[in-house]
């Protein structure tokens, strides 16, 4: 099994995906252990002095003015975890929890937090044992870190609260730790605070969304090409020289992908036949511009994610010169903004895809296709309600595109008076990505049926590869009405697991 080695300089996006989704093992590098040890020595030296140091010998947040004596400091660290583990609502997905645990471990191993090596090793042991703390939907404002979610994870390290075992059964954390031979940790100065003061949950969800959107945007280029083909549109608008004079890289990539899919098509270029068109509708002609803008938004989000992966987010932080300084690096604004940007781009991509689907189903705009792609229109309703479903998904995505990061709500007796709401932005983006997958699947379902209904015209080889693969996957083609939900579910799975993209790329080679 793949092993991710956590050092002092962070981890990669692929490392996070490997641990979160593929169950990769985690190890601490010797460099990380040395950095942990050195930083801890600084914290221990400060803890022995009479001067108050935030997070080491004081209370937290609005209670930071109280100096805490040595006899109460272990209790202080234990109490911050217990009191901050105040989440409510449904359980958060296992992959999200594993991602945020690894990312917190990444910051701990930077040597800027003052956490002891044995605490970091316990974090790795919990991940390797497949133990997943129960984290709840609500509790993070995306500032001072994802406090409640990370606190529930820290609670598991202490052997308290509930966690999910590798078998998926939720049990008391103490039982799961004991079953895997893991000793609960007793937190010392600063350690409780360091375990819960990071933007790790929202960053983990950003990284997974970026991976999913990379596949989805390529898949959306494919379905846009299929719709153009089914509508007898022109591929001349995809010519590289047209996109070179508006040099957005995402736009050029989307146009190139569509052109590659349409290569060899016998359906394109018929826009001057029986029902002449000077131009195709915007939803067809402007597909690269819309998808391309989304691609460029993804590129910006990747830049932010890479910077965050190289960051040590904690407050206070231990500096190499021995200082322990307070800061505001836990504020989630950089991550929150791009999470919201991505939700906006996803909603617009879904919106233009739905418009193409509707055009395929409307006999007045489909250039010769039967109403709703029905077998016997009137007796059969065809894909009428499949488009309703797609429209409902798009409508929800528009609501989810309202930015969470534009909101803020004061907390901690006005000490924490401006927050990012980045966790909320991440949670709604996950739903948006899920919905976008379904929207793309419905367009694919309609476009493949429409292409098959163009009798006497030969589709592009890449289009035929998609039709063959999706039919082999059990998704039926044109014909009388049938129970449609299973077909749509199978189409969704076909897009979601990458089979749509794989089918195309057997002909085109890797898409951009």
Residues 256 and 246: their CA atoms lie apart, in Å, by: 14
Residues 482 and 462: their CA atoms lie apart, in Å, by: 27
| pLDDT tens track for 252-283 | 999 999 999 999 999 998 766 666 677 899 99
Three-state helix/strand/coil letters over 335-384: HHHHHHHHHHHHHHHHHHHHHHHHHHHCCCCCCCCCHHHCCCECCECCCH
Q: Provide φ and ψ at 387, rounded to 5°.
A: -70, -35
Residues 390 and 495: their CA atoms lie apart, in Å, by: 15
Per-residue confidence (pLDDT) for residue 74, from 0 to 100: 83
Q: Is the pLDDT of residue 324 over 90?
A: no
Q: Is the pLDDT of residue 345 over 70?
A: yes
Sign of CA dihedral 51, 54, 58, 63: positive
Sign of CA dihedral 505, 288, 440, 436: positive
pLDDT bin (cut points 50, 70, 90) of residue 243 is: very high
Mean pLDDT computed over every residue of the chain: 95
How much of the chain, in percent, has pLDDT values that exceed 70?
98
Per-residue confidence (pLDDT) for residue 1, from 0 to 100: 66
Average pLDDT estimate for 467-472: 98
Find the length of the chain. Answer: 512
| pLDDT tens track for 49-90 | 887 877 777 776 667 778 777 778 888 889 999 999 999 999
Using alpha carbons, select from 431, 411, 413 the residue that is nearest to residue 421: 411
Using alpha carbons, select from 205, 305, 302, 307 the residue that is nearest to residue 250: 302
Per-residue confidence (pLDDT) for residue 269, from 0 to 100: 82
CB proximity list for 167: less than 8 A, separation 6 or greater: none
Per-residue confidence (pLDDT) for residue 207, from 0 to 100: 98
| pLDDT tens track for 103-156 | 999 999 999 999 999 999 999 999 999 999 999 999 999 988 899 999 999 999
CA 319 to chain centre: 32
Q: Is the pLDDT of residue 163 over 80?
A: yes
- Residue position matching structure tokens 């505001």: 328
Residues 95 and 237: their CA atoms lie apart, in Å, by: 41
- Residue position matching structure tokens 């991509």: 349
Using alpha carbons, select from 278, 291, 233, 277 the residue that is nearest to residue 451: 233
How much of the chain, in percent, has pLDDT values that exceed 90?
84
Find out whether 151 and 101 touch, Cβ atoms under 8 Å.
no
Lookup: tokens for 169: 């059964």
Find out whether 243 and 204 touch, Cβ atoms under 8 Å.
no
Hey, which residues are catalytic here?
Answer: 54
Find out whether 381 and 372 touch, Cβ atoms under 8 Å.
yes
Average pLDDT estimate for 30-48: 93
CB proximity list for 303: less than 8 A, separation 6 or greater: none
| pLDDT tens track for 143-155 | 888 999 999 999 9
Cβ burial of 215 (10 Å; 0-12, 13-18, 19+) is middle
| pLDDT tens track for 376-397 | 999 999 999 999 999 999 999 9
Q: Is the pLDDT of residue 316 over 90?
A: no
Strand extents, DSSP E, 170-219: 170-172
Least confident of 48-57, 427-436, 473-482: 48-57
| pLDDT tens track for 183-228 | 999 999 999 989 998 999 999 999 999 999 999 999 999 999 999 9
Residues 57 and 402: their CA atoms lie apart, in Å, by: 41
Q: What is the pTM of this model?
A: 0.95
Report helix, strand or coil for 139: coil
Least confident of 72-81, 337-346, 362-371: 72-81
């Amino acid at each position: 099994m793949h092993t991710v080695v956590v050092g002092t300089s962070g981890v990669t996006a692929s490392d996070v995906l490997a641990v979160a989704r593929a169950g990769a093992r985690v190890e601490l590098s010797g460099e990380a252990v040395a950095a942990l040890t050195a930083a801890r020595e600084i914290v221990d030296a400060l803890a022995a002095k009479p001067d108050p140091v935030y997070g080491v010998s004081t209370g937290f947040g609005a209670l930071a003015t109280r100096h805490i004596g040595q006899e109460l400091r272990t209790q202080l660290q234990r109490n911050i975890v217990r009191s901050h583990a105040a989440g409510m609502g449904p359980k958060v997905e296992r992959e999200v929890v594993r991602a945020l645990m690894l990312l917190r471990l990444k910051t701990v191993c930077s040597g800027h937090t003052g956490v002891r090596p044995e605490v970091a090793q316990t974090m790795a042991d919990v991940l390797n044992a497949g133990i997943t703390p129960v984290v709840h939907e609500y509790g993070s404002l995306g500032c001072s870190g994802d406090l409640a979610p990370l606190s529930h994870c820290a609670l598991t390290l202490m052997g308290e609260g509930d966690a999910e075992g590798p078998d998926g059964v939720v049990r008391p954390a103490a039982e799961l730790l004991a079953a895997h031979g893991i000793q609960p940790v007793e937190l010392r100065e600063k350690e409780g605070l360091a375990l819960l003061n990071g933007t790790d949950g929202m960053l983990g969800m950003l990284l997974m969304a970026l991976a999913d959107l990379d596949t989805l945007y390529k898949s959306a280029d494919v379905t846009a090409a299929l719709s153009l083909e089914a509508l007898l549109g022109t591929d001349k608008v995809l010519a590289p020289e047209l996109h070179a004079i508006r040099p957005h890289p995402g736009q050029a990539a989307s146009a190139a992908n569509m052109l590659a899919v349409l290569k060899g098509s016998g359906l394109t270029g018929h826009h001057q036949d029986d029902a002449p068109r000077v131009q195709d509708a915007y939803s067809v002609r402007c597909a690269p511009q819309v998808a391309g803008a989304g691609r460029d938004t993804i590129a910006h989000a990747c830049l932010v994610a890479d910077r965050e992966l190289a960051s040590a987010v904690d407050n206070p932080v231990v500096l190499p010169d021995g200082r322990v300084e307070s800061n505001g690096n836990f504020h989630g604004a950089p991550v929150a903004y791009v999470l919201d940007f991505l939700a906006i781009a996803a909603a617009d991509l879904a919106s233009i895809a739905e418009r193409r689907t509707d055009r395929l189903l409307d006999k007045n705009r489909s250039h010769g296709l039967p109403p709703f792609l029905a077998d016997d229109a009137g007796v059969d309703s065809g894909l009428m309600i499949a488009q309703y479903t797609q429209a409902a998904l798009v409508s929800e995505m528009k609501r989810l595109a309202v930015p969470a990061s534009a909101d803020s709500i004061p907390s901690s007796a006005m000490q924490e008076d401006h927050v990012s709401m980045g966790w909320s932005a991440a949670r709604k983006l996950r739903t948006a990505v899920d919905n976008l997958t379904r929207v793309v699947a419905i367009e694919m379902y309609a476009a493949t049926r429409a292409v098959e209904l163009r009798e006497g015209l030969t589709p592009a080889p890449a289009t035929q590869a998609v039709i063959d693969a999706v039919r082999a996957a059990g998704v039926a083609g044109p014909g009388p009405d049938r129970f449609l939900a299973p077909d749509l579910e199978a189409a969704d799975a076909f897009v979601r697991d990458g089979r749509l993209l794989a089918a195309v790329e057997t002909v085109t080679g890797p898409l951009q």
